[in-house]
């Protein structure tokens, strides 16, 4: 696993800032007063008390969780795949229409051997199918599964002349 932008992990430094904000949070102090007038007078002396154990409620953990998800999203995690792409080139020129002694065309024999070779592969990577006639080209974007590649190979026909 890796990160596209590992520099974004610097924003995890905001978590201690969040803890400091909870430390500086105003906490009510218990004061015994004899009348409501004294209570109103104490309101002007109220101050924020810094330090002590922070009172971490569920909202703090929700904020840390959301902050962590945002930082990880900015970093762009990805997973390495250890699969190699596979390129298959099949000759679909006019010469492949020649018949073998068994009575089948060379193109059919080549397609069967190619299907057997693909079955022997682990099939973990992308499969690109290329043809040679009328111009060398890729048949379609890379296929992710062996079944898609087999369907594309079954649709390829040998050609005599270039198509306009």
Domain ranges of the chain: 2-78, 86-155
Strand 86-90 and strand 77-78: the pairing is unpaired
Over the chain (164 residues), the average pLDDT of each successive run of 10 is 88 86 68 66 56 72 92 90 84 88 91 88 80 88 88 88 60
Output the pLDDT for position 42: 61
Output the pLDDT for position 72: 92
Strand 86-90 and strand 127-131: the pairing is parallel
Output the pLDDT for position 163: 58
Output the pLDDT for position 5: 87
Give long-range contacts, CB 8 A cutoff, 24+ apart: 95-100: 96/158, 97/158, 97/160
Model pTM score? 0.50
- Which CATH code of 3.40.190.10, 3.40.50.410, 2.130.10.10, 2.60.40.1180 fits the domain covering 86-155? 3.40.50.410
Using CA atoms, how far apart are residues 98 and 51, in angstroms rounded to an integer?
89
């Amino acid at each position: 696993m890796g990160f596209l932008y590992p520099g974004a992990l610097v924003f995890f430094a905001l978590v201690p800032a969040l803890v400091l904000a909870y430390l500086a949070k105003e906490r009510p102090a218990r004061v015994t007063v004899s009348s409501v007038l004294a209570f109103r007078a104490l309101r002007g002396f109220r101050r924020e008390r810094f330090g002590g154990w922070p009172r971490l409620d569920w909202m703090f953990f929700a904020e840390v969780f959301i902050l962590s998800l945002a930082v990880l999203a900015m970093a762009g995690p990805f997973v390495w795949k250890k699969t190699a792409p596979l390129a298959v080139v099949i000759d679909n020129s006019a010469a492949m229409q020649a018949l073998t002694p068994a009575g089948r065309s060379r193109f059919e024999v080549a397609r069967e051997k190619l299907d057997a070779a693909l079955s022997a592969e682990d099939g973990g990577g992308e499969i690109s199918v290329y043809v040679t006639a009328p111009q060398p080209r890729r048949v379609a974007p890379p296929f992710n599964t062996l079944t898609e590649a087999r369907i594309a190979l079954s649709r390829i026909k040998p050609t005599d002349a270039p198509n306009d």
